[in-house]
């Protein structure tokens, strides 16, 4: 503790058990830990001093940003030290001419959006946890979100990173050159590394062109298959498509019940697709024309002004919160090849109920990029029968067991479904090289051993 206090200053070393407890549970309440202390460094040098102290004392170190991760990766194991990035913030340094920004790791995604917008640009990654999730956390998880179909995932935005690696060395490459073939691409490696290789302290990100004129349509379908086909067709045919989000009638009912909202349509529909078009000029006509060519639409609600667009988005963005009201869910965040998406959605509820008859299955997600969130409620936190069944089905269809949330603690047991022994051995070699003492986030991403 004295070494950690030297590293960050006593006021930024937290040891009061009641305070520390707040850092030891995840957003869903499913994963719990027990840290020895929390440190809140304010600079890269302080992060390096914390890493050095943890190496000296053989302490596990768990980076934590907004703690909105959904796979238990930011939850410390017993006796670990949490490195909270709360104080690694500063106003984003925006290069308005070049369309890039240098941003510190503790900055929220919402703050980065605000800085980009103020400079006439936008940031390409967005999702419901934007007010809490941090740039460092989104890099560590390679976050996806609702705009991947247009702008790609976080990895596609990151041009350079600064990080303190597990061996204590600082790597910093924030020049933002668009063409720079000078060896291994460390930003790509750190994207999705889930705090196991280094603590990200800053990043250089690309910004995307602002598209302030927006139109949102909520489309009702009688069959899930029609909604999936529509999402893929709109992705192909509508260049200004910014989001295509799939929901079920049951999911919308739950959101309306928990949040006390009026339903979006007079009738209930088996599947609902939210589509958003964004451009510099009003995209309503082009969206309406594209939707008129889509088969199977039985109902539609359209919004162009900000408050009504937000009201339609609320049905989609409140799913995670509404489901949490039913108790800690099992979250399966999967991608399917496009041809397998509709068959998977049709099969998965019965597959879950075969192993856990009383379970409820909630399906929603980013349909156009094949990413579906399968949430299962009514199952004990440590009963993994439903997880097994869903992830085996995903693997049988050639999908991924983690589309955008990462492996964390929750999915380690199933990594082998997507990664060969040779790939896992390569992962371990990288881990040993950058974090020789294994202090960074042990138990996350890689199977022990
Ligand atoms: P944390 O939860 O604090 O940490 C996540 C992981 O990153 C942990 O392994 C942690 O150790 C590591 N980490 C954090 N900061 C650093 C750092 N500076 N350096 C190194 N490692 C670090 N995710 C999506 O991809 N798409 C979505 O659409 C989406 N929607 C969400 C909606 C809601 C309502 C919620 C609650 C979550 C959602 N998420 C989504 C999940 C989550 O918000 C993302 O995974 C996000 O990237 C986590 O950021 P964070 O700052 O909260 O990270
Ligand atoms: C989303 O797309 C998030 O809303 C969260 O990735 C998904 O709650 C979930 O399972
Ligand atoms: Zn998602």
pLDDT digits (tens, 9 = 90+) for 105-121: 999 999 999 999 999 99
Which neighbouring-strand residues pair with 243? 276
Two structure tokens written together for 144: 């996806």
Angle separating helix axes 224-237 and 338-355, nearest 10 degrees: 150
Average pLDDT over residues 319-332: 97
Ligand 3 mean position to 313 CA, how many Å?
14
Ligand 1 site, residue 147, Cβ cutoff 6 A: no
The ligand 2 atom nearest the CA atom of 373 = 10
Mean pLDDT of the chain: 97
Q: What is the mean pLDDT of residues 294-316?
A: 97
pLDDT at 272 over 90: yes
pLDDT at 38: 98
Q: Distance (Å, rounded) from C-alpha 123 to C-alpha 62?
A: 27
**DSSP, res 417:** G
Region 212-236 average pLDDT: 97
C-alpha to C-alpha distance for 354 and 159, rounded to whole angstroms: 46
**CA 21 to ligand 1 centroid distance, Å:** 19
Residue nearest atom 8 in ligand 2 by C-alpha distance:
320
Residue 448 has pLDDT above 90, yes or no: no
Q: What confidence tens digit (pLDDT) does each residue in 179-217 have?
A: 999 999 999 999 999 999 999 999 999 999 999 999 999
Task: State phi, psi for 300 to the nearest 5 degrees.
Answer: -155, 145
Q: pLDDT tens across 242-266, in order? A: 999 999 999 999 999 999 999 999 9
Pairing relationship of beta strands 61-64 and 81-84 according to DSSP bridges: parallel
Please report the pLDDT score of residue 147 as a whole number: 98
Determine if the pTM surpasses 0.85. yes
Rounded Cα–Cα distance for residues 302 and 287 (Å): 10
Q: Does residue 449 surpass a pLDDT of 90?
A: no
Cα of 123 from ligand 1 centre, angstroms:
17
Would you call 339 exposed, middle or buried from its count of C-beta atoms within 10 A (0-12, 13-18, 19+)? Answer: exposed
pLDDT in tens, 124-160: 999 999 999 999 999 999 999 999 999 999 999 999 9
């Amino acid at each position: 503790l004295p070494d950690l206090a030297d590293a960050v200053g006593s006021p930024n070393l937290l040891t009061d058990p009641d305070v520390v407890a707040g850092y030891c549970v995840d957003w869903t309440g499913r994963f719990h830990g027990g840290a020895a202390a929390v440190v809140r460094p304010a600079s890269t040098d302080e992060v390096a001093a914390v890493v050095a102290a943890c190496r000296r004392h053989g302490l596990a170190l768990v980076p934590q940003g907004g703690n909105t991760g959904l796979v238990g990766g930011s939850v410390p194991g017993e006796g670990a030290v949490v490195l909270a990035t709360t104080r690694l913030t500063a106003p984003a340094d925006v290069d308005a001419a070049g369309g890039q920004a240098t941003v510190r790791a503790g900055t929220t995604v919402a703050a980065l959006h605000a800085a980009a917008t103020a400079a006439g640009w936008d940031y390409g990654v967005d999702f419901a946890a934007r007010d809490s999730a941090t740039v460092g956390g989104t890099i560590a998880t390679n976050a996806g979100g609702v705009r991947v179909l247009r702008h790609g995932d976080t990895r596609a935005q990151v041009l350079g990173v600064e990080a303190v690696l597990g061996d204590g060395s600082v790597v910093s490459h924030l020049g933002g050159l668009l063409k720079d073939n000078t060896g291994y691409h460390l930003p790509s490696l750190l994207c999705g590394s889930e705090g196991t290789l280094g603590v990200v302290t800053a990043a250089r990100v690309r910004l995307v062109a602002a598209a302030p004129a927006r139109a949102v349509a909520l489309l009702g379908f009688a069959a899930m298959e029609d909604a999936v086909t529509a999402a893929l067709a709109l992705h192909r045919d509508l260049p200004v498509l910014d989001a295509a989000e799939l929901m079920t009638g049951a999911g919308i009912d739950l959101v309306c019940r928990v949040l006390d909202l009026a339903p979006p349509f007079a009738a209930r529909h088996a599947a609902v697709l939210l589509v958003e078009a964004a451009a510099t000029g009003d995209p309503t006509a082009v969206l309406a024309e594209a939707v008129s060519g889509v088969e199977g639409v039985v109902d539609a609600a359209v919004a162009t002004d900000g408050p009504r667009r937000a009201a339609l988005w609320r049905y989609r963005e409140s799913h995670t919160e509404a489901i949490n009201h039913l108790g800690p869910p099992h979250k399966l965040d999967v991608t399917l090849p496009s041809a397998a998406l509709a068959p998977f959605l049709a099969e998965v509820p019965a597959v879950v109920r075969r192993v856990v008859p009383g379970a409820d299955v909630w399906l929603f997600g980013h349909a156009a990029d094949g990413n579906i969130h399968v949430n299962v409620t009514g199952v004990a936190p440590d009963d993994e029968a439903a997880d097994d069944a869903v992830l085996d089905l995903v693997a049988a269809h050639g999908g991924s067991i983690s589309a955008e949330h990462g492996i964390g603690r929750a999915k380690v047991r199933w990594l082998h479904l997507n990664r060969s022994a040779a790939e896992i051995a390569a992962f371990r070699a990288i881990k040993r090289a950058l974090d020789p003492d294994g202090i960074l986030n042990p138990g996350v991403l890689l199977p022990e051993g």
